[in-house]
């Protein structure tokens, strides 16, 4: 048993790279907050991924937060490479201009976090990109009072997913 699997289920996010004219999208489970102030986040990307080339070149990325209703497109984004296919045509996402980076955001997602790369570290078989969050947008209903209310994508393993319950347990 691969020990990394013991940390699953993990949330699945979308990493947008490239430009508004030529955006690329991959899925990523390996996304993690790193700092509240300044707000910083990390994402692990394999060098084999087309997204690696784009993030390494432009030094910017957007983390888009899909809810469960986008699962089919999320799966496509994660299993087809942008090297061979135009993801803008493949996916039913609406890309729009971000506020502070040239990488676009995704309208159908409940949040978009605009990031500028401040560090890039090779760790094992992935590259760890450290990004400073320079702007964001989000759905006010989903994140009312900072308590997420949607149904989000949880990756179990391989092609198996689930989601969170809606009940809240307050301690």
SS3 40: strand
As given in the structure block, the two tokens for residue 109 are 């997602």
Q: Does 126 bind a second copy (CB under 8 A)?
A: yes
Sole binder of a second copy in the list 18, 23, 42, 104 (CB under 8 A): 42
Least Cβ distance, residue 162 to a second copy (angstroms): 5
Residue 51 DSSP label: H
Applying the rule CB under 8 A, the residues between 65 and 94 that interact with a second copy are 65, 71-72, 75
**Alpha-carbon Rg of the chain, whole angstroms?**
15
Q: Is 21 in the site for a second copy (CB under 8 A)?
A: no
Residue 18's CB: how many other CB atoms inside 10 A? 25
Nearest one of 42, 58, 129, 130 to 98, comparing CA atoms: 58
- What is the DSSP annotation of 68-92? GGGHHHHHHHHHS-TTTS-HHHHS-
The reply to whether 154 sits near a second copy by the rule CB under 8 A is yes
Interface region with a second copy, contact rule CB under 8 A, candidates 14-22, 80-88, 97-105, 157-165:
157-165
For the bound state, the minimum distance from the C-beta of residue 146 to a second copy, rounded and expressed in Å, comes to 5
Residue ranges binding a second copy (CB under 8 A): 1-11, 13, 29-42, 44, 63, 65, 71-72, 75, 111, 113, 119, 121, 123-126, 128, 130, 133, 136, 138, 143, 146-148, 152, 154, 156-171
């Amino acid at each position: 048993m691969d020990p990394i699997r013991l940390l699953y289920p993990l949330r699945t996010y979308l990493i947008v790279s490239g430009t508004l004219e030529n955006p690329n999208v991959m899925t990523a489970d390996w996304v993690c907050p790193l700092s509240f102030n300044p707000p910083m986040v990390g994402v692990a990307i394999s060098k084999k991924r087309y997204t690696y080339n784009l993030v390494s070149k432009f030094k910017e990325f957007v983390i888009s937060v899909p809810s469960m209703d986008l699962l089919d497109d999320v799966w496509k984004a994660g299993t087809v490479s942008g090297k061979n296919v135009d993801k803008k045509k493949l996916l039913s996402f609406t890309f729009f201009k971000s506020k502070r980076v040239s990488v676009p955001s995704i309208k159908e997602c409940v949040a978009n976090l605009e990031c500028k790369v401040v560090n890039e570290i090779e760790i094992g078989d992935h590259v760890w990109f450290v990004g400073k969050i320079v702007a964001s947008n989000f759905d006010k209903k989903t994140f009312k009072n900072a308590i997420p209310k949607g149904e989000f994508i949880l990756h179990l393993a391989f092609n198996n997913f689930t989601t969170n319950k809606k009940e809240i347990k307050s301690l």
